[in-house]
């Protein structure tokens, strides 16, 4: 074995081989990662009052769920962040939707907010859904998520949640900051960009893989 061959072989083992191994496992993690189920069978919403009279449900939908309660004027910043960073990026995916939960009586304010969102970024809001209920209904739905978070007296909070097509709450059980990450703070652009976008990509990829497997079989 020549000296040059030995030299290049050693260099390969020391530098190139570890990179190849890293890329192999990194690729495997990205391709087969699943977003953990944190709560199974969140309460369904088919019987709720909606803005347009359409039926809204979690089943067979990937849902971003938020609780905006009774003071919609306090949620304009959240709405703009979510519309720009999440909705505009993902709304064209089939079965993707936003569902925002509000107190009865907020219908006019919702229409005004929708107009602001349309004029602000020019996005088609066809998959923004708004449902209305009593404080008791809102509290019962929120409790079914079984999180460590709490609603305010206005039945709202800044966090939004990912609900999968089976009606389960998805999130992180090993988040580097909080351990179990039930939802994403819509007031934090950094959290939306650094965590929420990635987790939505993971769950969309999960269903895309399942669809391809089903078609092959």
Q: Are residues 81 and 133 in the same domain?
A: yes
Q: Binning pLDDT at 50, 70 and 90, where does residue 5 land?
A: low
Q: Are residues 156 and 210 in the same domain?
A: yes
Mean pLDDT over the full length of the chain: 86
Of 156, 130, 154, residue with least CA distance to 142: 156
Q: Are residues 78 and 9 in the same domain?
A: no
pLDDT, average across residues 208-215: 65
Report the number of distinct structural domains present in the chain. 2
Q: Are residues 83 and 27 in the same domain?
A: no
Mean pLDDT check: name the lowest of 32-36, 72-76, 130-134. 32-36
pTM: 0.82
Task: Judge whether residue 82 has pLDDT over 70.
Answer: yes
% of the chain residues with pLDDT over 70: 80
Q: Are residues 131 and 116 in the same domain?
A: yes
Q: Are residues 50 and 64 in the same domain?
A: yes
Q: DSSP assignment of 9-74, as one string?
A: HHHIIIIIHHHHHHHHHHHHHHHH--PPEEES-PPP-TTSEESSS----STT-EEEEEEEET-GGG
Q: Are residues 205 and 112 in the same domain?
A: yes
Q: Are residues 26 and 58 in the same domain?
A: no
Q: Are residues 87 and 178 in the same domain?
A: yes
Written in H, E and C, the secondary structure of 136-202 is: HHHHHHHHCCCCCCCCCCCCEEEEEEEECCCCCEECEEEECCCEEECCEECCCHHHHHHHHHHHHHH
What is the structure's pLDDT at 23?
45
Q: Are residues 55 and 162 in the same domain?
A: yes
CATH number at residue 193: 3.40.30.10
pLDDT, average across residues 73-101: 93
CA pair distance 16, 30, nearest whole angstrom: 21
Domain that holds residue 28: 1-32
Phi, psi of 73 (to 5 degrees): -60, -25
Mean pLDDT check: name the lowest of 29-33, 154-158, 197-201. 29-33
């Amino acid at each position: 074995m020549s000296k040059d061959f030995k030299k290049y072989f050693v260099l390969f083992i020391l530098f190139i081989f570890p990179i190849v191994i890293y890329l192999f496992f990194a690729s495997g993690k990205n391709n087969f990662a699943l977003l953990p189920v944190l709560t199974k069978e969140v309460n369904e919403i088919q019987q709720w009052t909606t803005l347009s009279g359409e039926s809204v449900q979690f089943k067979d939908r990937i849902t971003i769920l938020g609780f905006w309660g009774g003071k919609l004027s306090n949620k304009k910043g959240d709405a703009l962040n979510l519309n720009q960073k999440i909705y505009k990026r993902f709304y064209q995916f089939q079965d993707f939707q936003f569902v925002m939960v509000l107190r009865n009586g907020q219908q006019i304010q919702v229409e005004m907010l929708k107009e602001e969102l349309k004029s602000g970024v020019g996005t088609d809001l066809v998959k923004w859904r708004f449902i209305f209920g009593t404080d008791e209904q809102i509290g019962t739905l929120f409790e079914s998520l079984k999180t460590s978070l709490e609603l305010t007296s206005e039945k709202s909070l800044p966090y939004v949640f990912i609900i999968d097509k089976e009606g389960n709450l998805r999130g992180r059980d090993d988040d580097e900051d909080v351990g179990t990450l039930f939802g994403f703070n819509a007031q934090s652009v950094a959290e939306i960009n650094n965590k929420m976008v990635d987790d939505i990509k993971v769950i969309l990829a999960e269903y895309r893989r399942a669809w391809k497997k089903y078609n092959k079989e």
